[in-house]
Amino acid sequence: MNADTLLHFKSKLESERAALLHDHERHEQDLRESHTSEDIAGADRASELDEVAVESRIVESEELLLEKINHALERIDIGTYGICEGCNQEIPTARLEAKPSVSLCVVCQEAKESA
Ligand SMILES: [Zn+2]
């Protein structure tokens, strides 16, 4: 991958991370606030708990994605970005364009998911 393409993906990853961090802060804030409202009871309490469960899952998946983005940025720094971590083949640029944080090619991704 040439330097221009690498820079292109780097800036995509950085803006994705910035947007994600922004959302993530807000969701963590929501989560903290819902944990503190313990004086409500009954049906309100139940729907509050549902909301907390949903928010927790969102926060968790955001954290996972953040890790992937950070990992991809590290790989740019050390020069292995765009190389599949499963088979060491180049990941097609179109796949990276759609999802810059991927570290596996389609074949390895599918193998991992069906494992
Ligand atoms: Zn692969």
Where b means 16+ CB within 10 Å and e means fewer, 48-85 reads beeeeeebeebbeebeeebebbeebbebbeeeebbbbe
Q: How far is the CA of 62 from the centre of ligand 1 (A)?
A: 24
pTM for the whole structure: 0.84
Q: How far is the CA of 104 from the centre of ligand 1 (A)?
A: 5
Q: What is the pLDDT of residues 49-92, one digit of tens each?
A: 888 888 899 999 999 999 999 999 999 999 999 999 999 999 99
Rounded to 5°, the CA angle 87-69-60 comes to 110
Q: How far is the CA of 106 from the centre of ligand 1 (A)?
A: 7
Q: What is the pLDDT of residues 86-115, one digit of tens each?
A: 999 999 999 999 999 999 999 999 999 998
What pLDDT is attached to residue 40? 61
CB 75 within 8 A of CB 103: yes
Q: How far is the CA of 112 from the centre of ligand 1 (A)?
A: 10
Q: What is the pLDDT of residues 23-36, one digit of tens each?
A: 999 999 988 887 66
Residue carrying structure tokens 């020069």: 79
List the domains of the chain with CATH numbers.
Answer: 3-81 (1.20.120.910)
Q: How far is the CA of 58 from the centre of ligand 1 (A)?
A: 28
